[in-house]
Structure 1
């Protein structure tokens, strides 16, 4: 039996919630890899995820996977989550992870207006968004029609149904970082005057309908995780909510729609979200909703992930303290696990000196 290092014991406590139980508090953060030729995850991708399960990751969240829409992803090597071959590939991933004793959720994704016309796999597909605006405010396309929005909602729902059918343990809906769902949330990219626009509550309507549709497909007991962020890929200082009250107004419709766990994306997990309190975004989300939360952001490393420069391993003391105090329930680990599939096991066994530093060369290889 593995001897748990006492200093990291809070990280290795069981996690028990209404719909999802895990052997510890670690989550593999979703990270785009681009190793799926023709948009199909192959044996190397399945082995990549299996290695993390074998080494004790509590929950694996896959890289973003494209829903059934022509403009959902940008690139011929980004995995899709629709069609016979991609879904067969994902079924193999699930089997490998489960054989290794792990649990896994696909991240359901649409890149929205961050896509450029001419991007593969569908060169003729135009980027789509609530108002046809790029993240920088450029008018690139016409706003989505309500019929087109309904079709997108159904595409998310179909992906959720397929995830459950393939044996995944949960789904994560990607609503962060300036991609499609987040473009509806963000006032700068959503200028709509119908029910999908307006104030912060109106701008949640698209996401609400996605969550509700997914819930209808997967039933009441299947876990739905929702990832959101304040920051955007083109603006690290962006805010959906500038106060706790605004954040509560934003979160309430999503809770009511059926979100079970919030994945609160920040660049540095230790930073306070609002003045006057030390809580990070996940801590505030847990306080305001009562729902379990996943925190994330430069765990175990001395540089934020959005730079993707090489970094050194650093102390986990601050993370363990916050976790032990209940500020958040789970912690997602990105680059540390990208470089070192044995990261969780090493931490549990007290082998901190053996943790591998992150090198950006890891982005071009499936360790």
Structure 2
């Protein structure tokens, strides 16, 4: 899709009285960059200022807790519960305006989804979120009708604070499993009073919140409500009720419906990972849009300009992007300029932002953007001295390092005997890995568009030592572990290259990914793991929690507590003497770090500076390869 086909993204738009320069919105997404008391920090301001510089029409600031009783959800969450929050919020507004964007803020009560796990946890009914209960042993308390009126007042007070801070828009979070959704969904609302039972009763709290806000703030203050088209629970919110609610919200004075989906108990629908479709909630907002006259914002894995533009052409008035703009705050500007391969793509890994970010008690980060949350702190600047630098290996670490080194002004030579992309090449063979394939294409483009000499040969220690390099980065990747006579899973390029039945040995990410790919191609697959469970070696939580279910649905048989030692006459031979029937056996039993090249270089040229990167230094994920390469290269 060329730049002209993306023009729909950059048409001006209107939400109530608010005029926007384009149809691109930064979706609210918690960062944990505030102070512990909810006040604004310089890091938070820098984050949103940098997003504004990237060109979106509107930034909706992350969910902000509305009271000091039970609405705060997570550590270092932004607050809007007290007048003392207004000065910092006003500072944030002014900085974003100065950078050229409009700014809104989302109001939230966490309900049962209290990541902090501390009482009070207050919600519609005594229906626990198993994550909180299993982690902290705490169950929610049922809100009384008197407490419900306190919640309504808290939302209205918070909306007035947003107006006083001069935000351009206020949004109420009535989706994703937070308090208002706890009332809306039959899955979490088992009440028998006037706030439970019928749709009208379950919608009552949301409509009371909206009415209270509309009474408190000027009518021309734009007002958004974020809804889940459904929570995807079998006994949850039906789309017909969401459509009806959207109509009632419009009648109550709401100016725009922000439509996404899911809740935290089904996280794969809320922050959809790589194995879920892009634009996965589209079916829902396409049902809402014809039934209202106010605009609809479509949200949920709209990671590329092509997807976002197509959504605008067929079913939404605006698009909002969350993780995609963490990956590249210049997403909008680059899309408008037609520089699609320059956009750093979100790979929907949920690693930097969630798994080793918020879930670990840190601030939000990003696998592909090491500066996320630390904006302006790590510029890539010209080096004081230009050096001759060799990079051995064209995988993610080598490609990222080469591009950064070139931007620093160094004379860079990249050695790669195979296809550029390294471990990303076999990792992107599956159609599920379209996001990772986009990263591979981006990294290759960044190197090819810079003055980097690419030599399609294996780097040899003797040649590097003699060629006058000042510095060598070794990014030759990890060494896969093998089984006698067994083919490596990563070496299979086409499902037609194997014969069923297939045994994949190793239940880590590579093994599970291979099994899914081959099962989708119609093969009879058994996944064998020596340990008690697959995906148990600290895989990303959205992978570890859901992939086993997907494999089962695809018909993949899983054998655990089974060590395979090699090939038998008719399949894979187990340590206990069993033979697991197979026409093809593939090994995915892990990797070892280390590089013979680095050791040989240090021996051949003791004075040469040698740095190992990526899995050659320490086995890890894409996060580790890209972050390590970035920080090493910017120091050269």
TM range (shorter): 0.7 to 0.9
User: Which residue pairs with 1:15 in the alignment?
Assistant: 13
Where does structure 2 lack aligned partners over 5 or more consecutive residues?
Answer: 262-268, 270-276, 354-363, 366-371, 376-636
User: Which residue pairs with 2:4 in the alignment?
Assistant: 6
C-alpha displacement at 1:93, in angstroms?
0.5
User: Which residue pairs with 2:238 in the alignment?
Assistant: 241
User: Which residue pairs with 2:313 in the alignment?
Assistant: 324
Equivalent-residue separation in structure 2 for 1:142 and 1:156 (angstroms): 20
User: Which residue pairs with 1:29 in the alignment?
Assistant: 27
Write out per-residue CA displacement over residues 235-267 of structure 1, whole angstroms, 9 at most, x where no aligned residue.
Answer: 66674115x4x4433333322222110000145
Contact 1:61 1:106 in 2 (8 A): yes
1:265 aligned onto 2:256? no
Contact 1:269 1:298 in 2 (8 A): yes
1:66 aligned onto 2:54? no
* Larger CA deviation: 60-69 vs 157-166: 60-69
C-alpha displacement at 1:222, in angstroms?
1.0
Structure 1 pair 140/263, CA: closer, same or farther in 2 (3 Å)?
Answer: same
Write out per-residue CA displacement over residues 127-146 of structure 1, whole angstroms, 9 at most, x where no aligned residue.
Answer: 00112322459893442111
Equivalent-residue separation in structure 2 for 1:295 and 1:216 (angstroms): 27
Query: Aligned match of 2:352 in 331, 338, 361?
Result: 361
Structure 1 pair 164/99, CA: closer, same or farther in 2 (3 Å)?
Answer: same
Equivalent-residue separation in structure 2 for 1:143 and 1:295 (angstroms): 32
Q: How does 1:10-159 map to 2 (within 5 A)?
A: 10-38=8-36, 39-115=38-114, 119=118, 125-135=119-129, 140-159=139-158
Equivalent-residue separation in structure 1 for 2:12 and 2:209 (angstroms): 30
Query: Aligned match of 1:343 in 327, 331, 335?
Result: 331
Contact 1:269 1:296 in 2 (8 A): no
User: Which residue pairs with 1:306 in the alignment?
Assistant: none
Where does structure 1 lack aligned partners over 5 or more consecutive residues?
Answer: 120-124, 274-278, 301-313
Structure 1 pair 330/84, CA: closer, same or farther in 2 (3 Å)?
Answer: same
Equivalent-residue separation in structure 2 for 1:75 and 1:247 (angstroms): 27
Size of the aligned set, in residue pairs, is 334
Structure 1 pair 217/129, CA: closer, same or farther in 2 (3 Å)?
Answer: same
Contact 1:177 1:230 in 2 (8 A): no
Contact 2:187 2:235 in 1 (8 A): no
Which of structures 1 and 2 has the bigger CA Rg?
2
Write out per-residue CA displacement over residues 139-173 of structure 1, whole angstroms, 9 at most, x where no aligned residue.
Answer: 93442111101110000000100101110001010
Q: How does 1:178-257 map to 2 (within 5 A)?
A: 178-232=177-231, 239-242=236-239, 244=240, 246-257=241-252
Equivalent-residue separation in structure 2 for 1:299 and 1:282 (angstroms): 13
Equivalent-residue separation in structure 2 for 1:13 and 1:116 (angstroms): 39
Contact 2:55 2:332 in 1 (8 A): yes
Structure 1 pair 206/15, CA: closer, same or farther in 2 (3 Å)?
Answer: same
C-alpha displacement at 1:103, in angstroms?
0.6
Q: How does 1:288-307 map to 2 (within 5 A)?
A: 288-300=291-303
Structure 1 pair 118/353, CA: closer, same or farther in 2 (3 Å)?
Answer: closer
Identify which of structures 1 and 2 has the higher relative contact order when contacts are C-alpha pairs closer than 8 Å and 6+ apart.
1
Task: Tell me the TM-score normalized by structure 2.
Answer: 0.50
Structure 1 pair 42/255, CA: closer, same or farther in 2 (3 Å)?
Answer: same
Write out per-residue CA displacement over residues 248-298 of structure 1, whole angstroms, 9 at most, x where no aligned residue.
Answer: 333333222221100001455644x6xxxxx62222211112220100111
Structure 1 pair 210/248, CA: closer, same or farther in 2 (3 Å)?
Answer: same
